[in-house]
Structure 1
Amino acid sequence: MSGLWCHIHRHGVVLVWLPVLLLFPLLNLSGEVLPAVGQVVLVLALAAAAVALVVTGRVAVLLPVLVVLIVLAAMQGEGWQTVWGVLAIVSPAVLRGWRLLVAILAATAGVAVSIAVIEGIGDAYLLSVGGTFLSGVTTTSFLRLVEAVEQLRRTREELARAAVAEERARMSRDLHDLLGHTLSVMVVKAEAVRRLAARDPEAAAAHAADIEEVGRAALADVRAAVDQMK
């Protein structure tokens, strides 16, 4: 259950930023009805692709689709360049190593080029470009931290199970060592009682008393061992 919650939490951390990043394009829709409808459909398709990619992890199919939709969205005009941030925050959830680095750099380069071409290089240019890069790096760091915490939790559970198994094995050895000799003595004396019962009742009674004494001592030892194990 904890692993499932961690899995859902990782998805939520990534996907919670989608409405924020896609809000700016929706605030900069075309003034004409048909183009505006097309732009809304494009934003919805982009969001659906991002969610599907994060949830299913089908990188080979969905990542190229997402990149194409981002490029198309970024070409719509001013205010649409934040869509490159979608690539930056989604990639850490599905990519590792150099592929992740390439994706974050591609998102950074995409926002840099699209802003320069469509809006021009203004005062907020470096802030927008740097923000896209940092969003990818920050998301990567947070997700890896969540994964590390989950790995530590699993390791702790495995160590706890191993400790329980080791304790059970120790208890088994202790009980074997404790009762093995005692039961052997009781068996030997019981055989002596059986042989002597008819011809030497006094000797048989002495052996029976020994059996009782050994049994009581063994019972006391078992109780003491159980008390130590609590």
Structure 2
Amino acid sequence: MTDPADYEVADAEAAATRRNELVAAVTDHAGIIARELALLQGGDYGQASFKTSAGEWTVKYEAGDLEYLRFETRSGRETYVVSTKQPPDAAALADAMEDYGAFVRAFNDHVRSKVGVLDDVPEAFPDVVSTADAVAERDRIVGRIRETCDAIADQLHRYEGGDYGTFAARVDGSRWELKREASSTAYLRVGGSGGVYLVSQYEPPSAEAVRDHVEGFTGFVEAFNDHVEEVEADLSRITL
């Protein structure tokens, strides 16, 4: 019977050490490429691929640091020359490193192709028109809407009682809702829960929203007046 001890096991330490040294050197060098690429692309996260005659190299970086360097041959075999998971196979690494110089030249050509592309871009831009007049007119109209809404809220508070309440009406197919807190307006909304707030406690509406809905507000006020007249008519028929 053969004793397993009779078989000599090859020592992989030398090959592994050489592989690890080579991967460390590539990591340092490709890390420079990753940082330059991040500067060129304008972000801390991204990736780019570069074609050579032997295949395609992909550099991925995160937070400006090299995440991985992958080489894919034309036959489709992938080798992660640099990876956060595990080192590459020594033979695959050797094959990839034969094309590493071509990859660096492809990257350099890519960078050089960007030099001067902005030289003829004009730096004189049109003047920006001020929105001051439009904002002032919007604020004036919204202020008048709020004053009218507060008057409605005050009337509702007086005859409904209670510190909170709403009045809703449909105008030209759109639902208008005024919510009050005591005699003040909490909001005036057009179009249901996902609609436009013409009056709110947070931010003003856009000028376009005011333009689109200001005529409808007249119909809303008229609907409130009609409501009050109906209530008064109903009360007048009560005999005590």
Task: State the TM-score, normalizing by the size of structure 1.
Answer: 0.20
Structure ranking higher on relative contact order (CA contacts 8 Å, 6+ apart): 1
The structure with more strand, counted as a fraction of residues? 2
The structure with more helix, counted as a fraction of residues? 1
